[in-house]
Amino acid sequence: MTDSRKVFDSNRPTPAWDDGSDRPPPWKDHGHSVFFESPWMKLTRHEATAPTGVHADYMVMRPQNMSVGVLPLHADGTVTLVGQQRFALANWSWEMPEGGAPFDEDPLEGIKRELMEEAGLAAAHWRQALQAEMSNSITDERVMSWLAWGLSPVETAPDPTEIIRIARVPFADLLTEIGKGSVRDMMTVATALRAYHMAREGELPPELAQAMLSGV
């Protein structure tokens, strides 16, 4: 059984400017206790030593799933977004379909399920957009996102806690709203900007890229 965290962590290129010769020593972990645990996350408390040699009492929030997301791209240059109420910030959020894939599941299969459940879509073509670390000073949350196209409708199946609204908007409008600050979900923001780069740099089918970039 493959752990998607190990695959994620092993696939990390080194930036061209970093030859590794001037790095301080890593943090040292002298053991931890589990402060809280649920099916969605756990909090671990660590006796640690910082790279400076200073002792630290460190708490880490550890999600129990790989965070996955997809930006669905339609042939006419529009994208499908989902809107829902979010508890932690007590706000309404427009974002791309997202969710969690168990660590023993192929993350791509997990996000295919989320695309169906939240947006009522299936996709013929998938291209990975991002591997990212979210707020890496306090959490080891790992994020993987994709672009998907060749879309067809399927039946939705939202989570019992979700009431989801669906909007299909021009990709250019999504970029505008990100710039205005009305779309703030970080996975959506990062994936949309990456999609723009991929369209500009010829990493997507030409007709799809042209439709996405019209009006940008």
Q: Nearest 5°: CA angle at 186, between 89 and 90?
A: 10
Q: Containing H/E element for 198?
A: helix 186-200
CA of 134: how far to CAs of 22, 101, 131, 143, in Å? 25, 16, 10, 7
Question: How much is the average pLDDT of 3-26?
Answer: 93
Question: How much is the average pLDDT of 101-120?
Answer: 97
The verdict on pTM exceeding 0.85 is: yes
Going 201 to 203 to 206 to 210, the CA torsion angle's sign is negative
Q: How confident is the model at residue 158 (pLDDT cuts 50, 70, 90)?
A: confident
Q: Containing H/E element for 34?
A: strand 28-37
Task: Decide if 146 contacts 194 (C-beta within 8 A).
Answer: no
The amino acid present at 32, given as its one-letter code, is H
Task: Decide if 20 contacts 14 (C-beta within 8 A).
Answer: yes
Instruction: Answer whether residue 215 shows pLDDT above 90.
Output: no
pLDDT digits (tens, 9 = 90+) for 189-208: 999 999 999 999 999 999 99
Q: What is the CA radius of gyration of the chain?
A: 19
CB atoms under 10 Å from CB of 116, counted, come to 18
Task: Specify the domain boundaries for CATH 3.90.79.10 within the chain.
Answer: 65-213
The amino acid present at 151, given as its one-letter code, is L
Class of domain 65-213: alpha beta
CB atoms under 10 Å from CB of 32, counted, come to 15
- HEC string of 8-33? HHHCCCCCCCCCCCCCCCCCEEEEEE
Instruction: Answer whether residue 85 shows pLDDT above 80.
Output: yes
Q: How confident is the model at residue 140 (pLDDT cuts 50, 70, 90)?
A: very high
Name the token pair of 155.
Answer: 């039946």
Residue with tokens 């400017």: 17
- Separation between Cα atoms, residue 216 and residue 210, nearest integer Å: 10
